[in-house]
Structure 1
Amino acid sequence: MPDLFDTDTPTETTAPRPLADRLRPQSLAQVIGQSHILGDEGPLGVMLASGSLSSLILWGPPGVGKTTIARLLAHETDLYFEQISAIFTGVPDLRKVFDAAKLRRQNGRGTLLFVDEIHRFNKAQQDSFLPHMEDGTIVLVGATTENPSFELNAAIMSRAQVLVLERLTIEELEKLALRAETEMGRTLNLTDQARRALVEMADGDGRTLLNLIEQVLAWKTGAPLDVDALTKRLMRRAAKYDKSGEEHYNLISALHKSVRGSDPDAALYWYSRMLEGGEDPRYLARRLLRMAVEDIALADPQAQSICLHAWETYERLGSPEGELALAQAVIYLALAPKTNAGYVAYKAARNAARQSGSEPPPKHILNAPTSMMKDQGYGAGYAYDHDAEDGFSGQNYFPDTMQRPTFYKPVDRGFERDLKKRTEYFAGLRAKRNASQN
Structure 2
Amino acid sequence: MADLFPDTLPEGAAQPEPRADAPLADRLRPRALGEIVGQEHLTGPEGAIGRMVAAGRLSSMILWGPPGTGKTSIARLLADAVGMRFVAISAVFSGVADLKKAFTEADKAAEAGQRTLLFVDEIHRFNRAQQDGFLPFVERGTVTLVGATTENPSFELNAALLSRAQVLILHRLDAAALGKLLDKAEALQGPLPLTGEARAALVASADGDGRFLLNQAETIYAARVDEPLDPVALGSFLQRRVAVYDKDREGHYNLISAWHKSLRGSDPQAALYYLARMLVAGEEPLFVLRRLVRAAVEDIGLADPQALQQCLAAKDAYDFLGSPEGELAIVQACLYCATAPKSNAAYKAQKAAWRSAKDTGSLMPPQSILNAPTKLMKDIGYGRNYAYDHDAEDGFSGADYWPEEMEPQSYYDPVERGFEREVRKRMEWWEKRRRELRGDA
Shift of residue 218, structure 1, vs aligned partner: 2.6
Correspondence for 2:435 among 420, 423, 431: 431
Check if 1:231 corresponds to 2:235. yes
Q: Please name the residue that 1:158 is paired with.
A: 163
- Aligned-residue Cα RMSD (Å) equals 1.4
Measure the CA separation in 1 of the matches of 2:226 and 2:281: 36
Correspondence for 1:203 among 175, 197, 207: 207
| AA aligned opposite 1:75 | D
Q: Please name the residue that 1:17 is paired with.
A: 22
Q: Please name the residue that 1:216 is paired with.
A: 220
Map Cα deviations across residues 340-382 of structure 1 (whole Å, 9 max, x no partner): 0011011111111111112111122122333433343322222
Q: Please name the residue that 1:309 is paired with.
A: 313
Shift of residue 261, structure 1, vs aligned partner: 1.0
Measure the CA separation in 1 of the matches of 2:119 and 2:165: 13
Q: Please name the residue that 1:247 is paired with.
A: 251
- Normalization by structure 2: what TM-score? 0.95
Give 1:66-145 correspondences, 5 Å limit: 66-145=71-150
Check if 1:33 corresponds to 2:41. no
Shift of residue 2, structure 1, vs aligned partner: 5.3
Correspondence for 1:327 among 325, 328, 331: 331
Measure the CA separation in 2 of the matches of 1:194 and 1:367: 77
Shift of residue 244, structure 1, vs aligned partner: 1.1
Shift of residue 293, structure 1, vs aligned partner: 1.1
Measure the CA separation in 1 of the matches of 2:225 and 2:129: 55
Verify the 8 A CA contact 2:79 2:85 in the aligned structure 1.
yes
Check if 1:177 corresponds to 2:182. yes
Measure the CA separation in 1 of the matches of 2:371 and 2:229: 84
Q: Please name the residue that 1:383 is paired with.
A: 387
Shift of residue 230, structure 1, vs aligned partner: 1.0
Measure the CA separation in 2 of the matches of 1:218 and 1:338: 55
Map Cα deviations across residues 290-344 of structure 1 (whole Å, 9 max, x no partner): 1111111111111111111111111111111111111111111111111100110
Measure the CA separation in 2 of the matches of 1:248 and 1:221: 38
- Normalization by structure 1: what TM-score? 0.96
- The percent of aligned pairs where both chains have the same amino acid is 58
After superposing the two structures, state which structure 1 stretch, 370-379 or 87-96, moved more: 370-379
Measure the CA separation in 2 of the matches of 1:103 and 1:194: 54
Measure the CA separation in 1 of the matches of 2:94 and 2:134: 13
Measure the CA separation in 2 of the matches of 1:236 and 1:148: 29
SS at match of 2:326: helix
Measure the CA separation in 1 of the matches of 2:361 and 2:51: 57
Q: Please name the residue that 2:274 is paired with.
A: 270
Q: Please name the residue that 2:61 is paired with.
A: 56
Map Cα deviations across residues 8-57 of structure 1 (whole Å, 9 max, x no partner): xxxx64x5111111111111111111111112221112222222211101
Q: Please name the residue that 1:374 is paired with.
A: 378
Measure the CA separation in 1 of the matches of 2:141 and 2:369: 72
| AA aligned opposite 1:30 | E
Measure the CA separation in 1 of the matches of 2:234 and 2:262: 34
SS at match of 1:381: coil
Measure the CA separation in 1 of the matches of 2:225 and 2:290: 50
| AA aligned opposite 2:269 | D
Shift of residue 384, structure 1, vs aligned partner: 1.3
Measure the CA separation in 1 of the matches of 2:360 and 2:213: 63
Correspondence for 1:43 among 40, 48, 54: 48
Map Cα deviations across residues 209-229 of structure 1 (whole Å, 9 max, x no partner): 111111222333333221111
After superposing the two structures, state which structure 1 stretch, 375-384 or 105-114, moved more: 375-384
| AA aligned opposite 2:426 | R
